[in-house]
Structure 1
Amino acid sequence: MSEALGDPHSDALARPPATPRAHGEPVGEAVLRAEPADFQVDEIMVVEPEGEGEHLWLEIEKTDWNTEDVALWLARNAGLHRLSVGYSGLKDRRAVTRQWFSLHLPGKPDPEFQWPPGLRSLRAARHRRKLNRGTHRGNTFRLRLRELAADQDALAARLERIAAEGVPNYFGEQRFGRDGANWTRGRAWLLGGEAPRKRPLRNFWLSGVRSGLFNAVLAERVRRDVWHRLLDGDLLQPDGSRGLFSADDDHDAAARVAAGTVHPTAPLPGRMGMASSGACRQLEDTVLADHVALVEALADLGLDAERRATRLPVSALQWQCVGDTLELTFRLPTGAFATAVLAELLTTRVPSANRG
């Protein structure tokens, strides 16, 4: 039942949309994040500091800290407003991650920090510009999965398929908060409920709702086995680019999609923006008919419509099994989730003490 036609608080719509797998059922199970070092992430930067300027760039290794808390700690201990601290992307908390931050220090010397447990400065250099969101090209992941129970041949075959075909580019559960709260509360707000009192919550809720709507469209493409295939009227995105073009304008579109040089996209709803057509538009309209009120509310708030690739290429994928431990290394583009890769491989569980 759609929000436009029925109960907007229906239990069927209260949870983030389900994300069916593209490559079949998991080939085994394992424990993820038994300790922070089991989940390591390094930013792949497009730009690195030049050595001079008003902004101090710091490459920081953080363990069991989330990115925003590091930014707040830096601002407080450098005597700066929070907005004077920049970073490129959000990183997992229960992990060891290495990422860059910038501090705006016009006419000021470099602060002398007394680093707390879990934070370590790796490099420091000046630059002329603030580090803005989305500056990095991607991330390298090094994962260790423990207590592995899987057939080795099936595991290797699935990993080879993932390396060759990629995986559906779902937003991971981190985007939706604990127990899907960002989707649940954001949806309730947009359908007439209580608004968030703090701006960061507003952003998290809006992001959670748009991500859920994208996942719903992608899930339908997975069910129809067209998440990595061309549909008439698709809007396509070149690999490694944010640009868009209509498949109808390119006679070689199907071959380019099959080769992986361009990818189909699905909507992050908002106002205006490029619109798909044909079979692609029909699929998207069918899915979003269950969420008409949400789509209209997002447009009314002034969010611009965007598109996101439906296929996630997994680069430089390597693996080895040591006893009952699987070690994985791979690269993903900016904005992608390692959990989307793992979901196509194994059923993972996180020790209850490490959730959140």
Structure 2
Amino acid sequence: MQLIYPLNVKNEFVFNSSPRDFTVEEIPLYEFTGEGEHLVLQVRKKELTTWEMLDVISNHVGIRRRDMGYAGLKDKHAMTIQYISLPAKFEEKLKAFSHDKIKILSMVLHNNKIRVGHLKGNRFKIRLKKVLGVQKDKLDSVLKWIDENGVPNYFGNQRFGTDGNNWEDGKKLIEGSLKIRDRKTKEFLMGAYQSYLFNQWLSKRMELSHLLEKFTEAETEQVLNLPKGSLKGTKSQPNFFKLVEGDVMMHYPYGRLFTVENLEEEAKRFAEKDIAPAGLLPGKKTKRAEGTAGLIESPFAEEINLNGARRYAWIQVTDIKKTYIEEKAHYELNFVLPKGSYATNVLDVLRGGEA
């Protein structure tokens, strides 16, 4: 899968996705009440998937995993701090809980079970190694660009399985050439295909933005086989990611969908980080792009028997902090991303992707 990134740079560094060099911490959507029938645990884990961690705790207290709540799935190859919930009656049993890869950091009562997506975002801590000499200055420069502009919101490789190709089974399920009985497995694989199509669409839009950096609107229309005049008003936009007529936008970081009508005005609002373009996860009951945006989106808008959605195509990276440890050649980064976004998008822009 070819993914295109906004900066044509090449930075060399080493990043190991390991608990020593990669930490992810959930930022709750709201404060917990301190009362109620549910117990919210702040849990630190390493070398386990969220499912494996839930199994360990559910087996300890003697309940089914489905009776527990969680806000998001976290990386196995990182140190992760996340929130889960279970019935408050198990508080005493949890005081005796001990595991070499799981630590319960805190417990607090709450009125509701935690649901998937009940997050503001995630805070990432990443250590880059072998950052030598001029590489440090180059990383500083790219990080400044990221702080000012944001990054594309590709789905990360972990969405596509160990071999990166589970979306192919999702496509076969949709085409009817593969049969799987288990509903959850089917929906997961078909969802991976939705994610693949989103990434392909985003790569096409990134290609358009790259072309407009180098060529005229008319030349870009020719390269992409778009109607004459369809990119009018795009090249002069202040953002790297260029909006086109008929794009679907969302208020940022939360809010309703709407369609671009005044290109100049919406590009200004995008530059001010008030709104952001929203790409298609194809399926049922989904708002479709119109006009030029609809033409570009059409090849990736397959009929899929799942509910579709719109997903931010461009996200902001906030609370960025960096430390350079010269004697170790370590470049340490802290930053916050919205929920559902991948730290690999920041790393890939820092490293320099395909262009």
Query: 2:37 maps to which residue?
Result: 54
* Distance in 1 of aligned mates of 2:284 and 2:187: 17
Give the gaps of 5 or more residues in structure 1.
Answer: 1-16, 349-356
In structure 1, C-alpha distance between the alignment counterparts of 2:335 and 2:126, rounded to whole Å? 9
**Matching residue within 230, 235, 240 for 2:248:** 235
Paired residues, number: 320
Superposed CA deviations along residues 193-239 of structure 1, whole A, max 9, x for unmatched, are: 33335444333312211111111111011001187332111111111
Return the alpha-carbon distance in structure 1 between the equivalents of residues 278 and 285 of structure 2. Answer: 16
Matched, 1:27 2:11: yes
The superposition leaves residues 103-129 of structure 1 with CA deviations (integer Å, 9 ceiling, x where unpaired) of 135x66542342211100111011111
CA distance in 2, matches of 1:100, 1:196: 32
Q: Distance in 1 between matches of 2:91 and 2:315?
A: 43
- Give the counterpart letter for 1:305 in structure 2: G
Counterpart position of 2:335: 330
Structure 2 residues not aligned, in runs of 5+ = 210-233, 235-239
Q: 1:117 to 1:167 in 2, by over 3 A?
A: same
Q: Distance in 2 between matches of 1:242 and 1:175?
A: 25
**Residue 228 (structure 2) aligns with:** none
Equivalent position to 1:215, from 183, 191, 199? 199
1:309 aligns with 2:312: yes
Structure 1 residue 152 displacement after superposition: 2.7
- Tell me, in whole angstroms, the C-alpha distance in 2 between the residues paired with 1:143 and 1:342: 9
**Residues in 1 aligned to 2:350 and 2:313: alpha-carbon distance in whole angstroms:** 18
Measured in 2, the distance between the counterparts of 1:200 and 1:254 equals 40
C-alpha distance after superposition, 1:296-323 (max 9, x if no partner): 2x1xx2x222111111111111222213
Quick one: percent identity of the two aligned structures?
A: 31
3-state DSSP of counterpart to 1:164: helix
Which whole-Å CA distance do the structure 2 matches of 1:231 and 1:239 have between them? Answer: 18
Q: 1:92 offset after TM fit, Å?
A: 0.7
In 1, the alpha carbon distance for the partners of 2:99 and 2:179 equals 35
What pairs up with 1:31-110 in 2 under 5 angstroms? 31-33=15-17, 35-105=18-88, 110=92
CA distance in 2 between partners of 1:332 and 1:325 (Å): 22
Q: What is the deviation of 1:249? A: 7.1
Residue 111, structure 1, aligned to residue 116, structure 2: no
Q: Aligned Cα RMSD in Å?
A: 2.1
Q: Does the 8 A contact of 2:39 with 2:91 survive in 1?
A: no
Following superposition, the deviation at residue 154 of structure 1 comes to 1.9
Aligned residue for 1:219, secondary structure, equals helix
- TM-score computed with the length of structure 2 as normaliser: 0.84
Match of 1:280 among 293, 311, 325: 293
